[in-house]
Amino acid sequence: MVTLRTRLSRSVLFTAVLVLLAATTGLATVVIHADLAKLTQLADVIVDATVESQRTEFEPAQGAIWTVYELRVTETLAGAERKTLSIHVPGGTTAGLTQEISGAVRLDVGERAILFLTKEEDRLLVLGQSQGCFRVTRKAVKRAASSPTKAREKTRTKTEPEETTSDADGAAALAKTDELVCRNDLTGLALVAGDGKGVTAEPIELTLTALRAKIKVALDEKAAIAQRRRAETDRRLAALRKRARRNRERLRGKPGGGE
């Protein structure tokens, strides 16, 4: 069974099996496709963090190698507040042995990312492999800007003739500005839907501001769903207690019933 919360053993097995049986996927790791809303709903922890250091660990019982990244947290977007944390990513190199897991996250020291994390036993893993890692980079983005012509239009009187927009004015109207942009990566992943059918998807790219806003909307919806479920649970418990009271009253005074 394919699961979004992929354990290391499953990742290694998928890669090995795909070598023999699924060459058509390009030896990719099979994971369930998750959009931004789904990543937010399933994540136990979401952080804006920077890589401070990395190391590798060997797990003899499973013959598995982990790459462990130590992170400095700029902001915790979901989960318990923390200043630092460690994440485990399957694959890496240790003692001359290399283990490659297609689609696993690979980060450099000093690199910043928005990370959607899931708890697996005593480890924090990136949710959905590289789907859950949004690298933060600076990129030139075209922004609408007020042109000289538009500025003059505001002060023009009714008797003044209309002016045509020059090429220079048009360029100014789409001025480029540097912004922080976040993008995940789907390389090395074979994406499937919940029913196991293949999914075609493109990487998600948003400005940092837009990504934060979408995460907040998804977190608000997650909280609303949890509140509705609690209310429904409370309603059912109240109905069960009411039914139990009626049964006690019905049995009171009868043989075998309470007094």
Provide the CATH number for the domain formed by 8-207 in this structure.
2.40.50.120
Residue 183 has pLDDT above 80, yes or no: yes
Choose between 53 and 248: higher pLDDT. 53
Residue 2 has pLDDT above 50, yes or no: no
pTM: 0.72
| Mean pLDDT value of segment 244-251 | 85
166: confidence class by pLDDT, cuts 50, 70, 90: low
Cα(101)–Cα(128) distance, integer angstroms: 13
Domain range summary for the chain, segments of one domain joined by +: 8-207
Residue 233 has pLDDT above 50, yes or no: yes
The tens digit of pLDDT for each residue in 57-90 reads 999 888 899 999 999 999 999 999 999 999 999 9
